[in-house]
Amino acid sequence: MMRVLRGRALRALAGGLVPAVAAGTVLLSAGAASAAPGASGTAGPAPVPTSLSPSQIRQLEAMAARGAASPAAVRIGWFLPGDCKCRFDNEAEFQKIMNGIFRIAAPIDNMHVRVTPNTAMTLTKNQKSSRIPDIYYFRLNNAHPAKGLGDINEFKVGRNTSRQLFQRFQDTQLLKQGHGFGANAFNRGHFLPVRSATWWFVPGPTGITYTAFPFIRSLLARGINVIYLIDDPSAKAWPRTESKQRKAKDVKEIETNNATQARAGLNNLVGPCLMVCPAG
């Protein structure tokens, strides 16, 4: 135990971060109670991290920053970590909140919003398997379809891994070609622009946020943006109270491929990033 604590202290000092407990990266262990005075001392199950480590978060921030500064043909997605006082029982609970926010923002931003299952799209007009993102935020341009706007939003709560590899593949392909085709009865075959894709990772009911570092890194490498929220009991409760105009501005800023604008929107929507960012 002393070795673990010493390692945490050194990482915090080396990274210029607050202690990992304050950053929301405290380790949960079913054997923690047995470590109390008088316990047998029998080792419990291996501790489960509640989020990516500060080191991993900083690596992802640095990767995104290098991508933003590089003239490479393949775009690197932006990575925005944040801390909030928030836990969600399941994806449906988080999506209900986000549906409300996007529906408030859409008419103010001169956009439209569709939520699952009315978001189905395919890569080709005749493809059978469809991609059904959680929220599609868009503005069509009937005269010049390729000039329309369209943003995919995917929500992941806790350890959710359902269909992630297939969803990542589909989003990668949609981004590459810049559009999909409607796959619902009301818009089958219609041109749907896809300018950006953002995956939101948020804490589950036990405070755990998805911790597969290689998978999140692979999203960034494919040009998919990532918002990564860590549960922090010291932060303000979320969702925050904002005016309709402020919500609309937040959403508009987040739904861009510009990390600086997206950070400004996220700071207002969720709260300032207190513990785990910026990377510098």
CA neighbor of 79 nearest in space, from 67, 57, 91, 61:
61
pLDDT of residue 44: 56
- Per-position pLDDT tens, the chain of length 280: 444 334 443 344 344 333 333 333 333 323 333 333 444 445 555 666 789 998 999 999 999 998 887 776 778 999 999 988 999 999 999 999 999 999 999 999 999 999 999 999 999 998 989 999 999 999 999 999 999 999 999 999 998 777 888 999 999 999 999 999 999 999 999 999 999 999 999 999 999 999 999 999 999 999 999 999 999 988 888 888 889 999 999 999 999 999 999 999 999 999 877 766 654 4
Task: State phi, psi for 131 to the nearest 5 degrees.
Answer: -95, 130
d(Cα 23, Cα 149) in Å, to the nearest integer? 36
State the SS3 of the chain.
CHHHHHHHHHHHHHHCCCCCCCCCCCEECCCCHHHCCCCCCCCCCCCEECCCCHHHHHHHHHHHHHHHHCCCCCCCCCEEEEEEECCCCCHHHHHHHHHHHHHHHHHHCCCEEEECCCCCEECCCCCCCCECCCEEEEECCCCCHHHCEEEEEEEEECCCCCCHHHHHHHHHHHHHHCEEEECCCCCCCCEEECCEEEEEEECCCCCCCCCCHHHHHHHHHCCCEEEEEEECCCCCECCCCCCHHHHHHHHHHHCCCCHHHHHHHHHHHCCCCCCCCCCC
Q: How far apart are CA 180 and CA 127, in angstroms?
A: 11
Please give the structure tokens belonging to residue 137.
């935020």
* Cα distance between the two ends of the chain: 30
CA-angle at 212, arms to 260 and 9, nearest 5°: 80
CB 18 within 8 A of CB 12: yes
Helix (H) or strand (E) holding 223: none
Q: What is the pLDDT of residue 178?
A: 96
Span 163-176, pLDDT tens digits: 888 999 999 999 99
pLDDT of residue 75: 87
Task: Give me the pLDDT at residue 45, please.
Answer: 58
One-character DSSP codes across 35-61: GSTT------SPPEESS--HHHHHHHH
- Give a three-class secondary structure readout of 56-95: HHHHHHHHHHHHHHCCCCCCCCCEEEEEEECCCCCHHHHH
